[in-house]
Every structure is written in structure tokens, then in C-alpha cells.
Amino acid sequence: MNESETRAEYIDPKLKASGWGEIEGSKVLREFRITEGKIQTGGLRAKPEIADYVLVYKNQKIGVIEAKAQNLEVGEGVAQAKAYAQKLQIDYAYSTNGKEIYEMSLATGEERSVIDFPTPDELWNKTFTDQNEWKEKFNNVLFEDGGSGKKPRYYQEIAVNNVMNCIAEEKNRVLLTLATGTGKTFVAFQIAWKLFQTRWTLKRDGARRPRILFLADRNILADQAFNAFSAFSEDALVRINPLDIRKKGGVPMSGSVYFTIFQTFMSGSNGTPYFGKRQCGYIQIFW
């Protein structure tokens, strides 16, 4: 029996029996493409990284499964399952040949043979032992694609989720280090979108939408970000420039998401930030 037959006749039914794809909010992503493969000389690409199964519950990827043909040892898929789980920053990885299931926790290092796959709730509770209200709210807001069907790259999804977890844990500052071309603006947009849709503010009472300030070091970058946030309603976005401030005698506060550059931000009287005159406690800053 080859791997495809093993999946169809043994692995898929076991996943279904454990509630995957059956319980609301659970999904099984088959042949999940993690990367397209490294670009090599001459424009060619290396072999893409594809996980046999990724288990999703409540919009979070929480399990990776590496499948092997029934005639192979269950340990044949252990290294690959671990590697994919590490790349996706998923705590639980599984290797199976249909007859046996081997479970690995990357968080604790514990490894063991199990009879069945855990149910979605069981795996969720093992993964997230410190859930709170805001983590749940952030998870419920899907990544916004503006109707384009664009999916986040695996590291973008990890970056956004890590930031949201830090915010839910009431950490005041988060530093992301992302290289040029990795989609920093996309990541910032998704973070802002989740904050906006959940009505998160520093008060954490859900009473109003946050005011968000996007700071860049060049006008062209601020303009690009302004355009990239087009999924927000037009009246929610405000592009701030020095001329507007001089005309109006201060910073406009009619919107929800503001875009400007450091020089404009710091050009108030006596070198004080313009936003220092406002209630900065309601503004989240992306540097």
C-alpha cells in the first residue's frame, strides 16, 4: 500500500473520527505548501516544502502531520514533521504510517506513541494553556486579503500572531525585525486590522475603535502604506502632512489610522511631537 492509499484508507478516517473537519472551526489542510522553494542560480527554484497535513482550529495552525506508506516505520516521518513544525512555529507534530501515530511536543520535548489523533479541543488546550479573552478575539479576525485571495507567507503569519499574543498579554512594546522585501507593510496592516476589528485600545474595554499611527522615514513609504491599507473605509484613513497641520492649526483627529513621517511627527513647537498635544494613550505606533 503506497502513501496515497495509506492516507485515504487509514489516516483520513482517523482524523475524521477525532473530529477534524467535522467539529466547527476545525480544518485539515492537505498538501500544505509552506514555501515555494529557494530561488537558485538561473531563476530556478529548489523543491518546495510541503506538509502532508496541517491541522487548523479557531483560525490557528496547531498541528503538523507527516504521512508515510503503511509498509514503512512510523519513525521515518519524525524528522520531517519536526522540521515543518519548527518552521511554522507549531508545538505539536505527528508522524504516522496509518497503523501507528507518533506524537512530538516541540515545546516540552516529550515524544510518545498514541492510539488516536487528539480532538481539536484537546490539541488546542495542550497548545494554549494561557488563553485569554483578547487572544480569542484576535484569533477570530481572519487575515484580510481585500478580495485578492492573497495568503500570508508563513513567516508573516507567525509575525502577526506573535504580536497579537504580546498585545493580548498586555506587553507595551513589541519589536519586529523584518528584512527588505519580506512584507513589513502587509504585516503592519494585518496587525492594525485585527486591532481595529476587535476594538482594542489601551483601556481594553472594547468601547471604541483604536487610533493607530503609522510612522515612516520617507514620504514615499508613508504613501505606499496609505494605499496598502485600502481595506479600511476611506474616512478611517488620514494622510498627515505639514501643510495640513499649518492650515488647521493642529493634527487632524477625525480618522482612525494616521500616516506620516518622523519629521512631520516631530515638527511641533519647541521640538515637541504634534501628537504630544493629543491623547496619545489612544494611539498605537508602528515604527
Looking up residue 40, the CATH number of its domain turns out to be 3.90.1570.30
Stated pTM of the model: 0.87
Q: Residues 117, 249: one domain?
A: no
Q: Residues 141, 250: one domain?
A: yes
Residue 231 CA to residue 203 CA, distance in Å, equals: 25
Which residue range is the domain that position 117 belongs to?
3-127
Q: Residues 199, 170: one domain?
A: yes
Q: Residues 35, 152: one domain?
A: no
Q: Residues 45, 117: one domain?
A: yes
Q: Residues 168, 84: one domain?
A: no
pLDDT band at 271 (very low <50, low <70, confident <90, very high): low
Cell numbers 491599507 label which residue? 229
pLDDT band at 15 (very low <50, low <70, confident <90, very high): very high
* pLDDT tens for each residue of 50-98: 999 999 999 999 999 999 999 999 999 999 999 999 999 999 999 999 9
CATH number at residue 259: 3.40.50.300
Q: Residues 183, 258: one domain?
A: yes
What is the rounded average pLDDT of the residues 218-241?
A: 91
What is the rounded average pLDDT of the residues 107-121?
A: 97
pLDDT of 27 above 70: yes
pLDDT of 29 above 80: yes
CA distances, 24 to each of 18, 19, 192, 219 (Å)? 13, 9, 27, 45
Q: Residues 253, 145: one domain?
A: yes
pLDDT of 128 above 80: yes
